Amino acid sequence: MMMERERFLPVSAADVAARGWDEVDFVYVTGDAYVDHPSFGVAIISRVLEAEGYRVAILAQPNYKSTEDFRRFGRPRLGFLVTAGNIDSMVAHYTVAKRRRTSDYYSPGGKAGGRPDRAVIVYCNRIREAYGDVPIILGGLEASLRRFAHYDYWDDRIRRSVLVDSRADILTYGMGENILRRLAELLDRGIPIRKIRDVRGCVYLAPREERVHYEAVVCGDYNEIKQGGKAYADAFAVQYNNQDAITGKAVIEYYDDKMLVANPPMPPLEQAELDAVYALPYARTYHPDYEAVGGVPAIEEVKFSITHNRGCFGSCNFCAITFNQGRSVRCRSEESVLREARDIAAMPDFKGYIHDVGGPTANFREPACEKQLTKGVCLNRKCLSPTPCRNLRVDHKEYARMLRKIEEIPRVKKVFIRSGIRYDYLMADPDRSFFRQLVTHHVSGQLKVAPEHCAAATLACMGKPSIGVYEAFKKEYFRLSREAGLEQYLVPYLMSSHPGAGLREAVELALFLKKEGYMPEQVQDFYPTPGTVSTVMYATGLDPLTGKKVYVAKDYHEKQLQRALLQYSRPQNADLVREALRKVGREDLIGMGKECLVRPERPNAAQAYGKRKPGQKGSGVQYNGHRPSGKIARAEKPSKSSRVKPGVKKAAPRKKK
């Protein structure tokens, strides 16, 4: 057991003593269980600091109800690093319906309750209680996306920057390797943390009169921003438009007699730097202390997967990647990816299948255009929507070659792509060779894609391409599948109640689904999380990037109606579907005809279609088509009715390699 523990960084005072250390440089506090795998931010940052010669101890899911756990390693020489974990603690705890989840994907045994709500605030306040003025550095997704005043869905109000509420010294945003290297170097040289003002990717509080190191713009005053409306939308637009490492300025937000200063972003890691990060000695699994409770569920999705890129120029409005990793894509070298694939293939429990070679978007291997490397990303348009930019570089050759080389590695039977193909980028490639390779070699029977909706107005608010692009992709996908002799399916992700989607748009989507012969098993309501354009739309009714008004469905009953329309064939949804159709004057879709979505009410059928008997438990539409399981959304194998079917009754048998 001791040899097994030595593969990990210390998690106890005994582990520290076993290494012969008399103190640690950093204590890394995390709301997740400790998983030493490069899909986990804590693993990457701790290994990067270790490679620089610093002594790092991991304090995973400490007991936050007292200061005792926070004293486990004593006062660290340089400071505490604090993160909520891989996802926002509120998203980890609550469904979109604000119901408490019954399990935690990132906790030992999947058991809920291991971290507090608003974890970084709680952790930092406990550290302050224990050690007073010890340096505290925030990082991770929760801190990054809450670095400015932000709309909080669970409180239904605009909260202050998490840096203000946590009483930490510095907040780091984006990808943190070079930020933490620089901060550690300065602290190690004896520079007080409150004197560190010039590190990119950092946010700090200072007196209003203090000089700002970088050229700066003001996004607003919290006393005005917290009122919402245009002041909040305009503030977010300033923040959003300064996320590029080349063109971005420092952003100032005022809090009474202080100012919050967000320095410009740290430049993304270039290929050699990324290769070095992914070559560090990760154990690639959870800490052995969790074995007795069944491990950590989150490792299952990534254990045999490879991340080959960072950043995303897809820029969907409901996605926070733009606000965290940025729009400028960088990738690892082919040899770096192949080295990791060989390491995976050598693992004793490897069964021959690489589950994914992806990232934020699997089929991006380079910046969208040459201009982005020297002049930054465009502020006045997106690379792919509503149509691809004429300067967009589309090339899948390197990615395709890399996947083929991985499949040539001994013990590797198959390489799948599951993290998401941007199908509009794929369709923009006139060379269909990668599309054919994808269909023939890298789909495990069904491919998940994300059209999200079909209504033009809603897709525009989402930052997604027109539904015609999806339809062209679907046609080509099934054509190539038939040519390969494969019966394969598409599983489209759909979203209800996104800003810009009302009942009319939901009816349009229901008719589209009927035409497709597709009935989703689950429907995802739009979930307003910090750091996205769509969340600002939800909070203000305004598109922050254009200033235009946007319809927002906030009424719970309307959300029920929209969900019901997307699952119109379910008997328990019939009353809601009829109500929705009548509200928008589409009674013509109530009837027995082929074009209808729902049958008329049956006379004297008080209990029909899911109506509740007196005292009967449960009826009506349920979130995601079932009662909340407590898990973060995970893909389940859809039933045949919930897959877009190929245009043939029976395909030829699957070809063998």
Pairing mode, if any, of strands 258-262 and 250-255? antiparallel
* Weakest-pLDDT range from 283-292, 303-312, 595-604: 595-604
pLDDT in tens, 115-164: 999 999 999 999 999 999 999 999 999 999 999 999 999 999 999 999 99
Band (pLDDT 50/70/90 cuts) for residue 439 is very high
Q: What mean pLDDT is predicted for residues 362-384? A: 93
The Cα–Cα gap between 516 and 649 comes to: 15
CATH topology of domain 271-546: pyruvate-formate lyase- activating enzyme (3.80.30)
Band (pLDDT 50/70/90 cuts) for residue 523 is confident
pLDDT, position 624? 31
Q: Where are the domains of the chain?
A: 2-203, 271-546
Whether 626 shows a pLDDT value over 70: the answer reads no
The Cα–Cα gap between 32 and 60 comes to: 6
Whether 23 shows a pLDDT value over 50: the answer reads yes
pLDDT, position 595? 93
pLDDT, position 642? 56
pLDDT in tens, 287-297: 999 999 999 99
Band (pLDDT 50/70/90 cuts) for residue 84 is very high
Which residues, 6+ apart, have CB-to-CB distance to 78 below 8 Å?
A: 25, 26, 54, 135, 184, 187, 188
pLDDT in tens, 157-175: 999 999 999 999 999 999 9
pLDDT, position 466? 96
Q: What mean pLDDT is predicted for residues 339-343? A: 98
The Cα–Cα gap between 375 and 44 comes to: 29
Query: How many CB atoms lie under 10 A from the CB of residue 409?
Result: 15
Mean pLDDT over each residue of the chain, to the nearest integer: 91
pLDDT, position 153? 97
Q: What mean pLDDT is predicted for residues 20-40? A: 97
Band (pLDDT 50/70/90 cuts) for residue 602 is confident
Question: Where is pLDDT greater, at 626 or 443?
Answer: 443
Model pTM score? 0.90
Whether 652 shows a pLDDT value over 60: the answer reads no
pLDDT in tens, 224-234: 999 999 999 99
pLDDT in tens, 348-361: 999 999 999 999 99
pLDDT, position 657? 39
Band (pLDDT 50/70/90 cuts) for residue 522 is confident
pLDDT, position 429? 96
Whether 192 shows a pLDDT value over 90: the answer reads yes
Look-up of token digits 């996802």: 87
For every residue of 337-369, DSSP letters joined together read: HHHHHHHHHTSTT--SEE-EEESSSTT--S-SS
pLDDT in tens, 487-520: 999 999 999 999 999 999 999 999 999 999 888 8
Whether 638 shows a pLDDT value over 70: the answer reads no
Please choose, from the candidates 559, 628, 523, the residue with its C-alpha nearest in 3D space to the C-alpha of residue 93.
628
Share of the chain above pLDDT 70, in %: 91
SS (H, E, C) 610-652: HCCCCCCCCCCCCHHHCCCCCCCCCCCCCCHHHCECCCCCCCC
Cβ–Cβ < 8 Å for 149, 140: no
pLDDT, position 615? 42
